Structure 1
Amino acid sequence: MTLIHPAEDLGVLRFITAGSVDDGKSTLIGRLLYDSKAVLSDQLSALARAKHKRTAGEDIDLALLTDGLEAEREQGITIDVAYRYFATAKRKFIIADTPGHEQYTRNMVTGASTAHAAIILIDATRVSEVDGRTELLAQTKRHSAIVKLLALPHVIVAINKMDLVDYSEARFDAIRAAYLALAQRLGLQSVRFVPVSALKGDNIVTASERMPWYQDEPLLDVLESLPVGEVSGSAAELRFPVQLVARQDGSHADDFRGYMGRVEAGAISVGQALRVLPAGHRATVAEIIGPRGELAHAHAGQCVTVRLAEDVDISRGDILVAAEATVEPARKLSADLCWFDHEPLSSQRKYILKQTTANVFARVGSVDSVLDVGTLSHGQHKGTLEMNDIGAVQISLQKALVCDTYEQHPATGAFVLIDEATHHTVAAGMIRAFTA
């Protein structure tokens, strides 16, 4: 494995592949791993002997590198999210190969929820012409809408199977224009386009000689150059959800009580004045302990134990914020929901809303609108949400919850809904607004 020089280390990039069935997502990732020398020789030998491979002769079916389930290999489709890890001389990568079939949209949402970037694949042979304009597939639109809802900062459109359209620049330009129109309607920004052939390896790791009209970087170079960084914010933006209260020597006078968790936003420092929400208690940071010992401060993304100078009532689900923070607990939420369950949303049913480490009972009071994937309008008023629907809803909480809008702080602005009876995760949500 290539060593990464500290001066060149750009951090870990998490990205997903998304698109419709048979757009070539698994093959693209397999090609990326193969051409970047991230596949071991024994893996290649096993792939060459695989009984479900769909290539002729000695050619390796690279899609099998990510299609790990037997059902996936038999059907030739991706069902679950497959994670793969590799590194180049510039950075490390975590790839999530997400399903393209509408039935597994919920798995795509799961993979995208922690990603920095999305590669939207479009099969150059499957776009159609309607009244003189290029029409994209419904799943391409649905996945693009989800990428917008999740506010992924980088979108790369890989126009695949260029080998099957004779590497046509005109076809690439037509698809690019169609997606730019879609991106404008959704509000997507920072969209880049790369014409590729995942099967042949064109513009995946190295530039293709068969598309001299494309002068930009191949896909791997684009991924290596994407800026990624944890946003630490200011002290006023601190969000530290308490995951566990750690006790030690509880019968002794020097009883240790620490509050364990991950800094989701902002920074925390020794001596900093805090508020404990939702109760509102005030306290001061006495000590911060990391995996390797004491720290003077910790920033977003770090897992630490915080000890306070005062004895206050704190339990799992509470959240530490800066003393001067203006955030207050909320009882009513306006949110965008991606519905996962086979059973439709019921306004009569009580759900468990899980956000960071907090669980509260919730009811969905109304469905304001449902996204029509075909027209990208929110004009439908079905009064409910069915599987794979994306809708704007109003939620009432049984008790107050400390939250932010998803745009402000994704960690505290996102949640899942869990069915109280079955314990199934039925929806994922992003908070747009909230009131007390």
Structure 2
Amino acid sequence: MSESNGKSNNPNTDNKYLDMDLLRFTTAGSVDDGKSTLIGRLFYDSKSIFEDQMEAIEKSSKSSGEEDVNLALLTDGLKAEREQKITIDVAYRYFATPKRKFIIADTPGHTQYTRNMVTGASTADLAIILVDASKGLLTQSRRHAFISSLLRIPHLVVAINKMDLVGYDEKVFNEIVSEFRSFAKKLNVSDITYIPISALKGDNVVDKSENTDWYNGSTLLHHLETVKVDASDNIVDFRFPVQYVIRPNQNFRGFSGRVASGHVRPGDEITVLPSGLSSKVKRIVTRDEDLEIAYPGDSITLTIEDEIDTSRGDMIVRKNNVPAVSNEFEAYICWMNEKDMELNKQYVLQHTTRTVQVFMEDLLYRMNVDSLTREDATKLGLNEIGRVKLKTSQPIFYDPYQVNQKTGSFIIIDPATNVTIGAGMIRAGSTESKSSKDTSEAGIKSKQTRQKSPNVVWEPWNIPREEREQRNGHKASLLWFTGISGAGKSTIAKELERKLWENGKQTVLLDGDQVRHGLNGDLGFSAADRTENIRRVGEVARLFYEHGNIVICTFVSPYSKDREAAKQLFPKGDFKEVHITCDPKTAQERDPKGLYKKAQEGEISGLTGYDADYEVSDDPALTIDTDSMSVDEAVEEILKLIGE
């Protein structure tokens, strides 16, 4: 691995964020819906298989007495799968077109193999939910769609398969689409596409079908090639679970593992959990050479400047950006064992590299996957999903799953058999463990803040946002104006809101001065208080957004990690960061609130843009320079951004 200009040439790091030419997707649905056949058809029609592979499956199909070539044999690799013509294991396949590379997880449809579906979908950017047109929407397809939503897969494709068995009837397609749309109103997925296909015959898989001349959408492959995929890795919050301590001699002591999220450089201030002791990164060591920066997925060894007792299961994080540290929290759990989950029974929880004993203290509710309603229950059975309160023997270091998938997920293991029996996604925290501590004041305040009001999954709304948007006549969206004081955020925001309002749009404007005098009147301007200020604003903005509004937020919000945390609350693409900037001298001359004058006279300190830093986003949706652009011009640019 070579290094230049502080950027890694690892193809799994920088290129992943810059090029975005790789799509990970999974297939799911009920048994025998045609998932493996669909993958085989994609390979066959896109000419992604070798001649000898084709000859082999043709021979195998003929020997089995099948009239058509069984394309499912391309993915069903186990003997039991070929004999039963079902998928049991998760089959990973790779192929490419001139436009994009793909990694496919072909997951089982049988109910008893739902755990395999969770495994295959856990890293996917898109999920294809297959529905048999001749059978309609079944419970297992609903369950897989709900799991995809829990796993925060941003894009769903509902592929209504076997249209040849219903004579390519448009009415059948529309009925299934209508049923799924009604079900999906309660899912936390913003992008769902419906495509009628026949995996066996090839209709609308790679090539447009003449049998469905009533369908005007794209083929499945075209959609896969063109769907916009954002990086799912959290590159803001540095989390490094320690896997192994390397001590080859008395002159070297390093901590090995894989970067779960965020990035790190030599010289960065770090804290080791659970001790709370701090130091600085000395070196980032790899097998080939030292790195200047490491990204998510990089396997590295860190050396630090001070001798701190650190072992497997500990976590190294950035000093002023710590996760929640607690032995009590809540999570959604998908139960994967034939034996029911028992309350207050001892299990084993594996979270990153940390293994602890765990007890299920309370089952808050079980989800009905057909209606997506909550049910009172005292246990979870095979493939059932519920919200559970857990208590561990030692604290774990976590982020909510919606913010950080790597540190927000875990598995449950049966200590008697060592079998994985459950998978969980952390949604809320509880009282901080007495054994956890952090020596930094900001770190302690940050953890207390997270524990008091943690990020949680948004439960289904009484009136879904989509219905509100339809009545309003426009999509909901979030515009986050950020920049130093005096740049022009509030001025532009007020003019923009007036313009939108006059055009009949439903709007809400949240300004820093408003919330500082009310909602956040108890907060100061320390780093921890600034973080809490933006966290609260993000939660309030999401409420207004879910009610179908165009929400405009104007906040200095100087820290990238705080803006990124707010962004994580919204569906991908609906949070648009607008950086309002100008020369600092211009801002000081404008000084609309007299803050710069107070800072110059020593009355206040820590003013962003004067004696405190502002962290500029690497990739804002729009940058407005008010030194060269008028208010009206800025408003026009923002209206273009949101398509108004």
Using structure 1 for the length normalisation, give the TM-score: 0.91
Deviation by residue 1:90-129 (Cα, 9 ceiling, x = unmatched): 22211111111112111111111121210000111112xx
Asked if 1:212 is matched to 2:221, the reply is no
Deviation by residue 1:290-318 (Cα, 9 ceiling, x = unmatched): 45422211122222221111111111111
Which residue of 342, 357, 362 maps to 2:358?
Answer: 362
Asked if 1:36 is matched to 2:46, the reply is yes
Deviation by residue 1:159-195 (Cα, 9 ceiling, x = unmatched): 1111222222222222112111111122322111111
Give 1:424's aligned residue.
419
**C-alpha distance in 2 between matches for 1:123 and 1:387:** 24
Q: Secondary structure at the match of 1:179?
A: helix
Which residue of 11, 23, 40 maps to 2:21?
Answer: 11
Q: Which has the higher Rg, Structure 1 or Structure 2? A: 2
Alignment of 1:263-302 (within 5 A): 263-302=259-298
Q: 1:406 to 1:54 in 2, by over 3 A?
A: farther
Between 211-220 and 46-55, the greater mean CA deviation after superposition: 46-55
Q: Secondary structure at the match of 1:275?
A: strand
Asked if 1:84 is matched to 2:93, the reply is yes
Between 354-363 and 169-178, the greater mean CA deviation after superposition: 169-178
Give 2:84's aligned residue.
75
Alignment of 1:35-434 (within 5 A): 35-50=45-60, 56-57=66-67, 59-127=68-136, 136-231=137-232, 233=234, 235=236, 237-250=237-250, 255-381=251-377, 383-434=378-429
Alignment length, in residue pairs? 416
Q: CA deviation at 1:233?
A: 4.9
Letter of the 1:22 counterpart:
D
Q: Secondary structure at the match of 1:412?
A: coil
Between 78-87 and 288-297, the greater mean CA deviation after superposition: 288-297
Percent of aligned positions with the same letter in both sequences? 45
Specify which structure has the higher proportion of helix.
2
**C-alpha distance in 1 between matches for 2:353 and 2:288:** 24
Q: 1:257 to 1:146 in 2, by over 3 A?
A: same
Specify which structure has the higher proportion of strand.
1
Between 33-42 and 283-292, the greater mean CA deviation after superposition: 283-292
**C-alpha distance in 2 between matches for 1:414 and 1:53:** 45
- Asked if 1 retains the 8 angstrom alpha-carbon contact of 2:21 and 2:101, the reply is yes
- Asked if 1 retains the 8 angstrom alpha-carbon contact of 2:235 and 2:296, the reply is no
Letter of the 1:188 counterpart:
V
Q: CA deviation at 1:231?
A: 4.9
Q: Secondary structure at the match of 2:212?
A: coil
Q: CA deviation at 1:373?
A: 2.5
Q: Secondary structure at the match of 2:184?
A: helix
Q: Secondary structure at the match of 1:279?
A: coil
Deviation by residue 1:256-313 (Cα, 9 ceiling, x = unmatched): 1221222211111111001111110101011112454222111222222211111111
**C-alpha distance in 2 between matches for 1:259 and 1:115:** 29
**C-alpha distance in 1 between matches for 2:349 and 2:288:** 34
**C-alpha distance in 1 between matches for 2:180 and 2:286:** 46
Deviation by residue 1:49-77 (Cα, 9 ceiling, x = unmatched): 216876744x3100111111121122221
Q: 1:84 to 1:231 in 2, by over 3 A?
A: closer
- Asked if 2 retains the 8 angstrom alpha-carbon contact of 1:416 and 1:425, the reply is yes
Deviation by residue 1:376-403 (Cα, 9 ceiling, x = unmatched): 211131x111111111111001011101
Higher relative contact order (CA 8 A, sep 6+): 1
**C-alpha distance in 2 between matches for 1:194 and 1:423:** 41
Q: 1:226 to 1:294 in 2, by over 3 A?
A: farther
Q: CA deviation at 1:214?
A: 2.1
Q: CA deviation at 1:247?
A: 2.1
Q: Which runs of 5+ in 2 are unaligned?
A: 1-14, 433-644
RMSD: 2.0
Letter of the 2:253 counterpart:
R
Q: Secondary structure at the match of 2:400?
A: coil
**C-alpha distance in 2 between matches for 1:149 and 1:119:** 15
Letter of the 2:248 counterpart:
Q
Letter of the 1:422 counterpart:
T
- Asked if 2 retains the 8 angstrom alpha-carbon contact of 1:362 and 1:397, the reply is yes
Between 262-271 and 166-175, the greater mean CA deviation after superposition: 166-175
**C-alpha distance in 1 between matches for 2:234 and 2:121:** 23
Q: 1:197 to 1:138 in 2, by over 3 A?
A: same
Give 2:33's aligned residue.
23
- Asked if 1 retains the 8 angstrom alpha-carbon contact of 2:27 and 2:107, the reply is yes
**C-alpha distance in 1 between matches for 2:293 and 2:112:** 45
Q: CA deviation at 1:328?
A: 3.7
**C-alpha distance in 1 between matches for 2:343 and 2:70:** 47
Q: 1:412 to 1:140 in 2, by over 3 A?
A: same
Q: 1:178 to 1:301 in 2, by over 3 A?
A: same
- Asked if 2 retains the 8 angstrom alpha-carbon contact of 1:329 and 1:403, the reply is yes
- Asked if 2 retains the 8 angstrom alpha-carbon contact of 1:54 and 1:61, the reply is no
- Asked if 1 retains the 8 angstrom alpha-carbon contact of 2:61 and 2:69, the reply is no
Give 1:130's aligned residue.
none
**C-alpha distance in 1 between matches for 2:256 and 2:73:** 40
**C-alpha distance in 2 between matches for 1:206 and 1:287:** 52
- Asked if 2 retains the 8 angstrom alpha-carbon contact of 1:273 and 1:285, the reply is yes
**C-alpha distance in 1 between matches for 2:65 and 2:166:** 20
Q: Secondary structure at the match of 1:228?
A: coil
